[in-house]
Amino acid sequence: MHERLPPGLREAVDEFSRHLAVVEGRSEHTVRAYTGDVVSLLDHAAYEGRSSVAELDITLLRGWLAARMGSGAARTSQARRAASVRAFTGWAHRTGRTPTDVGAQLATPRAHRNLPTVLRADQAATLVTASPRSYRSATAESRNNAGCPSDAERADGAGSGRGGIGGGSVLEVRDRAVLELLYATGIRVSELCNLDRSDVDHARQVVRVFGKGAKERAVPFGHPARRALDDWLRRGRPELVARGSRDALFLGVKGGRLQPTVVRRIVAGAARAAGLPHTRPHDLRHSAATHLLDGGADLRAVQELLGHSSLASTQIYTHVSTERLRTAFNQAHPRA
């Protein structure tokens, strides 16, 4: 789709993509999503006979969004597409490519927000303390029965007994630290994988995190996560460190920086071992936020810890807490 764009449109989207990555410091995921949306819009524009960004208008933008909705796109995807287009048209206007910002008039489709999946505190504790040996063995057995393991599992040595170090393998020690830190801090899986050793302040029990838009924040962690991290850094990490990854906090079996795909497998495997429903790293983030609010934490403090730019993003967890309270009331109160 990108290759068949007229030269003027293709050059514009390429420059916009570079602007997002270099000037605004957006994450790789955001750059890819926004660029894909804009390429789709410009392909629609080319089909309608437009060959330059200056020929875009609000009617064409709304027509493109309507066509996506007609193809069955979710409202959340439509909201992101509208945001992508507004970012593009705003950039095009600022750089002199269009006389006006035509996307400023584009409304965002209201997305229905489902409440996030949240574990109970006892479930989260069971998950992060699940035996890595048990779920690694189960993962290896299931993959062997189904055929060859995935590339991510081969790269990470799924089910292998790599590097025995007394109380467990190197990967078991690492997995314990990964699980403890995810739940202790509520950080995103991408943020966890991007951590360097220098980002951990062991004395203050704080980790420095670079979130969306390269925004930096400090997030505290508790004693169980500190012990798991200390164990990993002292007994596990030295067994895997490679010349090219001396800075990364968490490593894969070949010594490279740990990948999000592997972290998702670690969390899902721990949930299976604990007898819990399928769980993702982001579910641990949801759980950490909800448990903080349940424990009396201030909403603004939780917003800062999670790295939300808007308080509205954090307020969803107050709805979770209220819904949990309502469920408990309906189950227990004789006059419910």
Q: Which residues contact 22 (CB under 8 A, 6 or more apart)?
A: none
Q: From the candidates 212, 217, 235, 257, give the one annotated as an active-site residue.
A: 212
Q: Is 285 a residue of the active site? A: yes
Where are the extended beta strands (E) located within the chain?
200-201, 206-210, 216-220
Residue type, 81: R
Tell which residue, 160, 83, 139, has the closest CA to residue 272. 139
319-323 long-range CB contacts below 8 Å, 24 or more apart?
319/115, 320/115, 320/116, 320/118, 320/286, 320/290, 321/290, 321/293, 321/294, 323/115
Q: Is 188 a residue of the active site? A: yes
Tell which residue, 217, 221, 222, 162, has the closest CA to residue 191. 217
Q: From the candidates 81, 174, 176, 188, give the one annotated as an active-site residue.
A: 188
Q: Is 308 a residue of the active site? A: yes
Q: From the candidates 174, 265, 285, 286, give the one annotated as an active-site residue.
A: 285
Helix (H, G, I), strand (E, B) or coil at 322: helix
Q: From the candidates 75, 226, 264, 308, give the one annotated as an active-site residue.
A: 308
Supply the DSSP symbol for 200.
Answer: E
Question: Cα separation of 138 and 202, whole Å?
Answer: 33
Catalytic center residues: 188, 212, 282, 285, 308, 317
